[in-house]
Amino acid sequence: MTTGPGSEGLPASGRFREECGIVGIWDHPEAARLAYLGLYALQHRGQEAAGIVSARPDRGGLVAQVGVGHVADVFDRERLDALPGRAAVGHTRYSTAGESGRRNIQPIRIECKFGHIAVCHNGNLVNAHILRHELVDRGSIFRTTSDTEVLVHLFAKSGQTDELEAVAEAVRQAQGAFSLLFLTEDALYAVRDPRGFRPLLLGRVGDGYVVCSETCALDLVDGTYVREIAPGELLRIDRDGVRSIQVFEEAPVSQCIFEHVYFSRPDSRVFGRHVYRTRIRLGRALAQHTGIDADVVVPVPDSGLIAALGYHQESGIPLELGLIRNHYVGRTFIEPRQSIRNFGVRVKLNPVPSILRGRRVILIDDSIVRGTTSRKLVQLARNAGAAEVHFRVSSPPTTGPCYYGIDTPLRSELIASSQSVEDIRAYIGADSLAYLPLEALMDSVGEEQDRYCAACFSGNYPLAVPEAETARTLFAKDRR
């Protein structure tokens, strides 16, 4: 059973794009191979590029291997063998199009007064633009358009002489969402921003340590879970073990609720919670709040699968897999010139007419972004003979973009930013449409719900983003 992001292969029109996955290994004889496996398990967090940097044991320095594509394509035995040492960090990401893509691949590896250092970053700084301008004015040069390079400069320019202090000074200047790994020749640093937007956790493997975004990375390397890295915590892992430092003033916690709704793998724990269970709860709550009489519950694979199972469990309406996903979706796909109706969706999904024909169908998905894909799904179901199509969404309407590390479309592209639920229903052509209420979503994460950010649903942004919208366009000229 596969769940998690459904956008492998074809351009994910109408989907959120992914963010990033990071992994660090400390003190293991096959550090780079474990980082590789960890990235592989985190592949759903970014399928466009991957990189690993390892610390060379005897000769000093850091070695990098990076490339465009899936983790399993970027790395082969030879490239992994070229990454010696007992420590490594890895990164998997989505790619901006064009020639800047290769330059932006992480980890970023540089040399500065503290020696060689490699940095991996999951998140988005809200003051990157300001920091960048200040740095440039002081003579810094930038080779990429990423926020991460800003952090690297802050570290290199630090007035501190102690490496740990310099890391602390650098991250203290950053505002926004960040889970970060720094690898030097002597230590692995891991840090989460004070609000803890993005996940990061600590585990053990053999006698060494793992730091990674989700527990699924830990599972694949046969590691054991230790604990979440706390919001605002900075860890230094070196030959003397793990040291924890609080480098930020305390702040309210704002963990990303969307990790539970869509991003994380269902077999993972994030922010200490089981994703699978949370999604079942979302589906059950959806049945409670938006219940309707129907013949069959059909998930949109794979994003709506577990919520649909919860809906079925709560409602008692039979679950059927009425939309079948094609596993072999390639990166590009050639359509006939004389185009085929709903081609983009058909290439990925095929309805099972014997299930849908004459039935009142409840289609379940995790969210609606632009509405275009949902519209095609409703048409597919109707063409397959569905008597009624009721669309249910296991989260509230997505009314605003994310400024904290998720690459969402512009606000104007989010259908729920400007359209009423009834308008959206009419657009996608469903007989009815209902979303999970916000309170029900927050209930799904239990008592800790005030530790979550749901700004994309509520508009209640926990961190001011005065320049966020424009920051993106500063280097837009550098993108093709």
Between β-strands 323-325 and 349-351, what pairing exists: parallel, antiparallel or unpaired? antiparallel
- Burial bucket for residue 408 (CB in 10 Å: 0-12, 13-18, 19+): middle
Distance of CA 359 to the CA centre of its chain: 36
Min. distance of Cβ 172 from a second copy in angstroms? 16
Min. distance of Cβ 89 from a second copy in angstroms? 15
Find out whether the peptide bond into 107 is cis, omega within 30 degrees of 0.
Answer: yes
Residue 477 near a second copy by CB under 8 A:
yes
Within 23-62, which residues bind a second copy (CB under 8 A)? 29-30, 33-34, 36-37, 40-41, 43-44, 47, 56, 59-61
DSSP-derived 3-state class of residue 45: helix
- Applying CB under 8 A, among 170, 355, 393, 442 the residue interacting with a second copy is 355
- Applying CB under 8 A, among 64, 164, 245, 292 the residue interacting with a second copy is 64
Nearest-angstrom CA–CA distance, 83 and 86: 10
Residues touching a second copy, count (CB under 8 A): 104
- Applying CB under 8 A, among 11, 73, 418, 459 the residue interacting with a second copy is 73
Min. distance of Cβ 343 from a second copy in angstroms? 9
Min. distance of Cβ 421 from a second copy in angstroms? 27
Within 367-406, which residues bind a second copy (CB under 8 A)? none
Min. distance of Cβ 38 from a second copy in angstroms? 12
DSSP-derived 3-state class of residue 229: coil
Buried b (16+ CB within 10 A) or exposed e, 435-454: bbbbebbbebbeeeeebbbb
DSSP-derived 3-state class of residue 190: strand
Within 273-312, which residues bind a second copy (CB under 8 A)? 274, 276-277, 299, 301-302, 305-306, 309
CB-based contact 364:300 (threshold 8 Å): yes
Between β-strands 432-435 and 388-393, what pairing exists: parallel, antiparallel or unpaired? parallel
- Applying CB under 8 A, among 221, 234, 307, 416 the residue interacting with a second copy is 221
- Residues 135-164 as x/- pattern, contact with a second copy by CB under 8 A: -xx-xxxxx--------xx--xxx------
Residue 358 near a second copy by CB under 8 A:
no
Other Cβ atoms closer than 10 A to 219: 19
Known active-site residue 120? no
Stated as kind and residue range, the H or E segment containing 178 is strand 176-184
CB-based contact 381:358 (threshold 8 Å): no
Between β-strands 273-274 and 233-238, what pairing exists: parallel, antiparallel or unpaired? unpaired
* Lookup result for tokens 């519950």: 297
- Applying CB under 8 A, among 22, 23, 49, 80 the residue interacting with a second copy is 80
Nearest to 177 by CA among 199, 152, 159: 199
Min. distance of Cβ 64 from a second copy in angstroms? 6
Within 311-350, which residues bind a second copy (CB under 8 A)? 313, 318-321, 323-338, 340-341, 346-347, 350
Residue 63 near a second copy by CB under 8 A:
yes
Residue 473 near a second copy by CB under 8 A:
no
Find the catalytic residue in 20, 120, 402, 453: 20
- Applying CB under 8 A, among 21, 65, 361, 391 the residue interacting with a second copy is 65
The residues that are catalytic are: 20
